[in-house]
C-alpha cells in the first residue's frame, strides 16, 4: 500500500525526497535492522512507486552514511552507531553555542513567541510525564533557535543532527530525573533569549548539550 506521505501534495518535496524521508525514518526506528539488505524492487512494491525514485533515495541514504552499497550484496543498512552519536554530540557542543548567540541577535518577535510556546508546552508535558510529546517539543524548541540564526547552513546541519538524535533522546529522557533537569536547562536558555543576552544564551545552550551528552554516554549501548 502506498504510504500517505507519498500522496501529500503540500510538502513541496519531490517523490525521491519523500521516499528518502520514509526510509530514513524506518531505519532510525529500527524497522530495518543493521546489516539488513534493502532491495529496490521490494521497496518499490511496498511503497507503490517505480524503482527509479527508490534507487535515487537509496543513493541519498548512502551519502548520509546510514546505508552502504556493497559489491555483490546490494544496499545494506548501517544505521546510527555509538561512534556516530558521540561525534554528533561533539560537533553540537562546538557549534550550538554559536547558533544561540546568532539567534538572540537575529530572532523575530514571532520566533521568540514560538520559543516561549514550545517551552510552556514542554513544561505541561513534563507534568503529564509524557516523554513522547516532551521529546517532540524539545526538537521544536531547538529548531526554532536554528531558524532564528538566519543561517541556512547552520540550520540545516543542526536540524539533521536533531533528526538523527530522536531515538537516542527518547531513551535518554527515560532516565530518572532527566526530563526535569532538561526542562530547567531549557528554562535558562529561554530566559537568556527573553533578556536578549547572547552570552548567557551561548553558555546555557552549550551547557545543555554537555549535560545531554553526559546522560547519553551513560546509557547508549556499546
Which domains does the chain carry?
4-77 (1.10.10.10), 82-219 (1.20.120.530)
Q: What is the pLDDT of residues 144-186, one digit of tens each?
A: 999 999 999 999 999 888 888 877 777 778 778 899 999 999 9
Distance, in Å, from the CA atom of 102 to the CA atom of 81, rounded to the nearest integer, reads: 31
Residue 6 pLDDT grade (very low, low, confident, very high; cuts 50, 70, 90)? low
d(CA 198, CA 102): 8
Beta bridge partners of 37: 76
72 vs 112, more confident: 112
Residue 202: what pLDDT?
A: 96
pLDDT tens-digit series, residues 187-214: 999 999 999 999 999 999 999 999 988 8
Q: What is the pLDDT of residues 96-136, one digit of tens each?
A: 999 999 999 999 999 999 999 999 999 999 999 999 899 99
In the chain, which residue ranges form alpha helices assigned H by DSSP?
15-28, 40-47, 51-64, 82-106, 109-127, 131-148, 152-164, 166-173, 178-194, 198-219
1 has pLDDT over 60 = no
Amino acid at each position: 500500500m502506498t504510504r500517505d506521505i507519498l500522496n501529500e501534495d503540500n510538502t513541496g518535496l519531490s517523490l525521491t525526497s519523500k521516499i528518502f524521508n520514509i526510509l530514513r525514518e524506518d531505519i532510525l526506528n529500527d524497522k530495518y535492522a543493521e546489516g539488513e539488505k534493502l532491495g529496490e524492487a521490494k521497496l518499490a512494491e511496498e511503497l507503490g512507486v517505480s524503482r527509479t525514485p527508490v534507487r535515487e533515495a537509496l543513493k541519498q541514504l548512502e551519502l548520509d552514511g546510514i546505508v552502504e552499497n556493497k559489491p555483490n550484496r546490494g544496499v545494506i543498512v548501517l544505521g546510527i552507531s555509538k561512534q556516530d552519536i558521540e561525534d554528533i554530540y561533539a560537533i553540537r557542543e562546538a557549534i550550538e553555542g554559536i547558533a544561540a548567540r546568532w539567534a538572540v541577535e537575529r530572532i523575530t518577535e514571532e520566533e521568540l513567541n514560538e520559543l516561549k510556546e514550545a517551552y510552556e508546552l514542554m513544561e505541561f508535558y513534563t507534568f503529564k510525564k509524557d516523554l513522547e510529546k516532551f521529546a517532540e517539543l524539545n526538537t521544536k524548541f531547538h529548531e526554532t533557535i536554528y531558524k532564528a540564526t538566519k543561517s541556512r547552513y547552520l540550520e540545516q546541519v543542526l536540524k539533521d543532527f536533531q533528526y538523527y538524535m530522536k531515538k537516542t533522546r527518547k531513551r535518554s529522557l527515560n532516565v530518572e530525573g532527566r526530563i526535569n533537569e532538561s526542562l530547567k536547562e531549557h528554562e535558562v536558555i529561554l530566559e537568556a533569549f527573553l533578556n536578549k543576552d547572547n552570552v548567557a544564551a551561548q553558555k546555557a545552550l552549550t551547557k545543555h548539550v554537555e549535560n545531554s551528552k553526559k546522560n547519553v554516554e551513560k546509557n547508549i549501548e556499546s
